[in-house]
């Protein structure tokens, strides 16, 4: 039986963050280092790492869209 532990959530947040930054870097033609720094300081990442929001278990495509919109508005 699958148990949603803090370790599972933390690993999901890490892998999701990596996928988001790699995808947005590729889509925007910006260096991954730049995108990663911006992501780690973003509202999207704050929501993702807050275990109470449940974003770690949400649609990755939605999170990518959220972060991309955030980049465009800053």
One digit per residue, the tens of pLDDT, for the chain of length 74 reads: 878 899 999 999 999 999 999 999 999 999 999 999 999 999 999 999 999 998 988 899 999 999 999 999 97
Task: Express the helix, strand and coil content of the chain in percent, nearest 5 each.
Answer: 75, 0, 25
Report pLDDT for 57. 87
Report pLDDT for 74. 79
- The one-character DSSP state at 42 is S
The CA-atom distances, in angstroms, between 47 and each of 19, 42, 50 are 16, 9, 5
Location of structure tokens 């990663």: 36
Reported pTM: 0.91
Report pLDDT for 9. 92
Report pLDDT for 1. 85
Residue 20 near residue 60, CB atoms below 8 Å: yes
């Amino acid at each position: 039986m699958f148990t949603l532990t803090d370790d599972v959530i933390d690993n999901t947040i890490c892998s999701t963050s990596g996928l988001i930054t790699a995808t947005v870097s590729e889509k925007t033609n910006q260096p991954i280092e730049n995108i990663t720094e911006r992501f780690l300081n973003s509202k999207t990442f704050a929501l993702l790492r807050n275990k109470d929001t449940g974003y770690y278990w949400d649609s990755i495509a939605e999170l990518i869209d959220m972060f991309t919109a955030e980049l465009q508005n800053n």
